[in-house]
Structure 1
Amino acid sequence: MPETNQKDFTIAIVGGGMCGLACAIGLARAGIKVKVFEAAAKFDEIGAGVGLGPNAVRALKGLGILEHVLKAINIKDSVAQANFRFVQGSGNHEILFEIPDVESEGGTDVDNKGLAIYRPTFLAAIVPLIDPDTVSFSKHLTSITQLESGQYCLAFADGTTHNADLVIGADGIRSIVRDAVVDVADPNKDRLVFANRYIYRGMISVEALKAVGVTQDISSQPLAWLGFGKMMVTYPIKDQTMLNVAATLNTHEFGAPLSPAKPRPWVEDVNQKEMLDAYQDSWGSTATAILRQMTQPSRWTLHTVYPPLDAFVKDRIVLIGDAAHAMVPYLGAGVGQGFEDTYALCRILAHDKVTKDSLNAALALYDSLRRPRANMVLEQSLNAADVMQSLGPGGHDVEECRRRLKEVYGSDWHHDLWHYDLESAVSSALETF
């Protein structure tokens, strides 16, 4: 995105995570004055891996960020979605389904399959791209007030304030900015809910698994091990010497309403016995061996924004990423949708016809473009969770599970998720501006 002349409006971004920082870089390159307010004392992300599909890769390329990210990673480790395979968690781990490859003419593995990256690695790669003078740390937002001038006054817990013409909420799943967008009269105003699931995470040595007799190929591709009310995802990292593990456990009956948000902390180190007891008698030999090698798991309490928001925009306050549509990770699509938001918003605000006087119309265009797609992916992520955790007694048999997996992961919808032409969608929308 080429740099242009300075715009006649200013922007405050609340949140300096993956989407907030990418958005700041994209806007600054478009000649827009931007200031980032981050609650942490420094740029910091919890050290979990995230999957970026081809759609996210294209968004990062459009923002001018991808080349810097690729320099920071091992491509062999990081190519994701490559022949992602679903296997039965019990018995002999029978293969249930494999996501078909989709290749574009002249495309690389990253273009066709996406990549996986650790959040801290991503931030480390792009932090040098932003002017440090545009970022303020230890800024906990307490309120947003609209002034008579039309600007917004952001107040922070340390007593400081900042005025801007437009506010972007990139402050994640526990967004404070979201409270300023959701209608106070909405009966579902508090959209943050517990997704009725925990995930146990850890990393283990591939050699250690071989030493305890594991002969199954677990290090050449991502695997999803499916059961009833539980599942596990494994994928290789560090030149296929380590296995990243995420084991999910349902806490409620299928179909039960999502629950009120849990108190923090949402990420805790737990005793291995808790995890093993939850999976007792459910898994076959290889899956059990993987869990037994995960001696120091952390437990993540999954939350989501539900029901989906009716608007990502209110006046000149706009949401991106998890602040707008935090979703469960069963499609590996949440961060990618955030980068789609970021690319679309930066393109729209950079348009030469967007001025302070037309900001409301520009944000309405963003909302009409992004909200239907992102909310649909949010809904489908919950559906995918049910599909992947419904195999076995009390749920579906193997053939029904195969049918449902194909319905989700082998469909035109799944292809469109990863290979959506965002650039054309934004260009078409701008033609109507």
Structure 2
Amino acid sequence: MGSHSPEQAECLSVAIIGGGLCGLALAVALKQRNIVFKVYEARSSFTELGAGINIGPNTLDAFRLIDDGLGEAYLDMAARNPPDRQDVWFDVRLGAAIDGHGDGERVASLMASPTGSMCVGRDALLQLLAERAGLVDGIGRERAAFNKKLVGLEGTAGGVTMSFEDGTFERASVVIACDGIHSAVRRLMIDPESPAATPGFSQAGVYRAMLPFQKLETVLEAQMARTSQIFPGPSGYLIMYPVSETTMNVGLWVWRRGTWPHREWVLPNQRSAMEQNLQDWGATVRSIMDLVPDPPFYAGHYYHTQPKSHWKGRVCLIGDAAHAMPPHAGSGAGQAMEDAYVMAEVLSSAAEFDPTEARVAAALSAYEAVRRPRYERVVAASVKGMHDWSDLYDVPVTEQRLKDWVELAKNRFDFIWKHDLAGDASGAQASMRQNAVPSII
């Protein structure tokens, strides 16, 4: 990237577009595997928006595979449920009374050992990743460039030339797009008229707030106020989980059918609209949301349509740039971490060879062959999750319907949490090597 000495000309060099969680996780993984990289961030610093990232067992595995110490560092900083509830992902409670069951009654505990609900602030995790990628010291900062808004990509002999809004150009063997749901790389790769070029409205959104435990304890029993909960309710669900030692992230997800008519995805001061959505809910959820003075409403978006491939030439989309999804399976960030690990493993195999176009293509093809079926299944579960959590009250709730619904909920995300990620990477590496070196007849 930039200028290289002649003896470095045939080394694999990786440009990471986007310095968010996905981009910096990839940077950590490449650093651990001694692969040359540089991160290009459109903002003036590494900054993450949003309250927290809640991970499952598969994501903890991904952290550990990316970097031996990363998983333990995450464990040290994560907010968790109370000690006797740490294997619980979420307690499931009724958002409104039904025959034989009271409002707020716990009907199930979804278990996700060994993590349960484990959350850190997004910006705190980003800073940890920046440190482990070596991007915070004087020397390491040379591997990061800020205020770099990508405006063009051009394939050239032996690499890709990137052009930026500030008039500068950089070059790399391969470009990995980690620039999120508003990906500039995706817009450059895909016909702008294609429905796959831009995200679409999910027809659902969330009223969100951060509430201190002490405030929640004025309306809830103490342990309940400190433990992750999901309340399925009439045409929506409420979710809450600890994001620090003192604070709970609370979100009331509701349907908003039709198209999204606004330019912005966040509407401020939505108390009145929220109260209308809560009319048929029980007193427990209403008391929680009464603690929220005037919440914003966040419209959910994701990529409804996908291109034939997430890579083209020497450029590949990963993380939200490839598969931004609704949060209803709690897996968007986790899939980005899995992407980062498998991509780093495939590129480490590619680094054994000269980075010719055919060999880079073999690497990116092997990556997508392994990862795409996995993350597309997770996207589908995430989209379906809004229906799963919000449809319990669509028809009269009999005892048998509740029992069946609970049994499905208990095992709904096992395929996400129980997955052989290291096996995926090994398979992709084997495929890459086979296709990188033509057979000699």
TM-score over 0.5 (shorter chain): yes
Measured in 2, the distance between the counterparts of 1:179 and 1:17 equals 18
Measured in 2, the distance between the counterparts of 1:234 and 1:273 equals 21
Measured in 2, the distance between the counterparts of 1:293 and 1:367 equals 45
Measured in 2, the distance between the counterparts of 1:46 and 1:80 equals 26
8 A Cα contact 2:370 2:427, kept in partner? no
Are 1:382 and 2:388 an aligned pair?
A: no
Aligned partner of 2:273: which letter? E
Aligned counterpart in structure 2 of residue 245 of structure 1, from 239, 242, 250: 250
Aligned partner of 2:48: which letter? E
RMSD: 2.7
Aligned counterpart in structure 1 of residue 228 of structure 2, from 212, 222, 225: 222
Are 1:13 and 2:21 an aligned pair?
A: no
Are residues 62 and 38 of structure 1, via their aligned partners in 2, closer, same or farther at CA, if it must alter by over 3 Å? same
Greater shift, 270-279 or 10-19, is seen at: 270-279
Are residues 127 and 395 of structure 1, via their aligned partners in 2, closer, same or farther at CA, if it must alter by over 3 Å? farther
Query: What is the DSSP-based 3-state SS (H/G/I as helix, E as strand, rest coil) of the residue aligned with 1:11?
Result: strand
Which ranges of structure 1 fall in alignment gaps of 5 or more residues?
103-108
The answer for the alignment partner of 1:45 in structure 2 is 48
**Residue deviations 1:296-339 (CA, integer Å, cap 9, x gap):** 42321210011244322112111111001000001101110110
Q: How far does residue 208 in structure 1 lie from its aligned partner after superposition?
A: 2.8
8 A Cα contact 1:198 1:249, kept in partner? yes
8 A Cα contact 1:57 1:114, kept in partner? no
Q: How far does residue 96 in structure 1 lie from its aligned partner after superposition?
A: 3.5
Q: In the comparison of the two structures, how many residue pairs are matched?
A: 408
Q: How far does residue 277 in structure 1 lie from its aligned partner after superposition?
A: 2.8
Are 1:188 and 2:195 an aligned pair?
A: yes
Query: What is the DSSP-based 3-state SS (H/G/I as helix, E as strand, rest coil) of the residue aligned with 2:225?
Result: coil
Aligned partner of 1:202: which letter? A
Measured in 1, the distance between the counterparts of 2:261 and 2:73 equals 37
Measured in 2, the distance between the counterparts of 1:137 and 1:159 equals 14
Q: How far does residue 150 in structure 1 lie from its aligned partner after superposition?
A: 4.1
How high is the TM-score relative to the length of structure 2?
0.84
8 A Cα contact 1:388 1:405, kept in partner? no
Are residues 133 and 192 of structure 1, via their aligned partners in 2, closer, same or farther at CA, if it must alter by over 3 Å? same
Aligned partner of 2:58: which letter? N
The answer for the alignment partner of 1:285 in structure 2 is 283
Q: How far does residue 204 in structure 1 lie from its aligned partner after superposition?
A: 1.8
The answer for the alignment partner of 1:371 in structure 2 is 372
How high is the TM-score relative to the length of structure 1?
0.86
The answer for the alignment partner of 1:106 in structure 2 is none
Aligned counterpart in structure 2 of residue 324 of structure 1, from 300, 322, 341: 322
Q: How far does residue 396 in structure 1 lie from its aligned partner after superposition?
A: 6.3
Are 1:297 and 2:295 an aligned pair?
A: yes
8 A Cα contact 1:77 1:237, kept in partner? no
Aligned counterpart in structure 1 of residue 347 of structure 2, from 337, 349, 362: 349
Are residues 11 and 276 of structure 1, via their aligned partners in 2, closer, same or farther at CA, if it must alter by over 3 Å? same
Are 1:84 and 2:90 an aligned pair?
A: yes
Q: How far does residue 48 in structure 1 lie from its aligned partner after superposition?
A: 1.6
8 A Cα contact 1:73 1:117, kept in partner? yes
Aligned counterpart in structure 1 of residue 308 of structure 2, from 298, 310, 313: 310
Aligned counterpart in structure 2 of residue 153 of structure 1, from 161, 165, 173: 161
Measured in 1, the distance between the counterparts of 2:112 and 2:36 equals 42
Measured in 2, the distance between the counterparts of 1:46 and 1:72 equals 18
Measured in 2, the distance between the counterparts of 1:45 and 1:332 equals 18
Q: How far does residue 217 in structure 1 lie from its aligned partner after superposition?
A: 4.7
The answer for the alignment partner of 1:233 in structure 2 is 239
Aligned partner of 1:263: which letter? R
Percent of aligned positions that are identical = 26
The answer for the alignment partner of 2:153 in structure 1 is 144
Q: How far does residue 101 in structure 1 lie from its aligned partner after superposition?
A: 4.9
Are 1:163 and 2:174 an aligned pair?
A: no
The answer for the alignment partner of 1:425 in structure 2 is 424
Which ranges of structure 2 fall in alignment gaps of 5 or more residues?
1-6, 98-102, 135-139, 434-441
Are residues 333 and 261 of structure 1, via their aligned partners in 2, closer, same or farther at CA, if it must alter by over 3 Å? farther
**Residue deviations 1:178-224 (CA, integer Å, cap 9, x gap):** 13444x3985333410111111111223333443x544852242111
Measured in 2, the distance between the counterparts of 1:216 and 1:24 equals 41
8 A Cα contact 1:14 1:171, kept in partner? yes
Are residues 344 and 355 of structure 1, via their aligned partners in 2, closer, same or farther at CA, if it must alter by over 3 Å? farther
8 A Cα contact 2:270 2:297, kept in partner? no
8 A Cα contact 2:203 2:260, kept in partner? no
Q: How far does residue 80 in structure 1 lie from its aligned partner after superposition?
A: 7.2
Q: How far does residue 15 in structure 1 lie from its aligned partner after superposition?
A: 0.3
Aligned counterpart in structure 2 of residue 95 of structure 1, from 98, 106, 129: 106
Measured in 2, the distance between the counterparts of 1:349 and 1:288 equals 51
Measured in 1, the distance between the counterparts of 2:220 and 2:31 equals 51
Are 1:128 and 2:131 an aligned pair?
A: yes
Measured in 1, the distance between the counterparts of 2:304 and 2:87 equals 27
Measured in 2, the distance between the counterparts of 1:120 and 1:126 equals 10
Measured in 2, the distance between the counterparts of 1:333 and 1:429 equals 22
The answer for the alignment partner of 2:205 in structure 1 is 198
Measured in 1, the distance between the counterparts of 2:273 and 2:54 equals 27
8 A Cα contact 1:261 1:303, kept in partner? no
The answer for the alignment partner of 2:338 in structure 1 is 340
Q: How far does residue 125 in structure 1 lie from its aligned partner after superposition?
A: 1.5
The answer for the alignment partner of 1:272 in structure 2 is 271
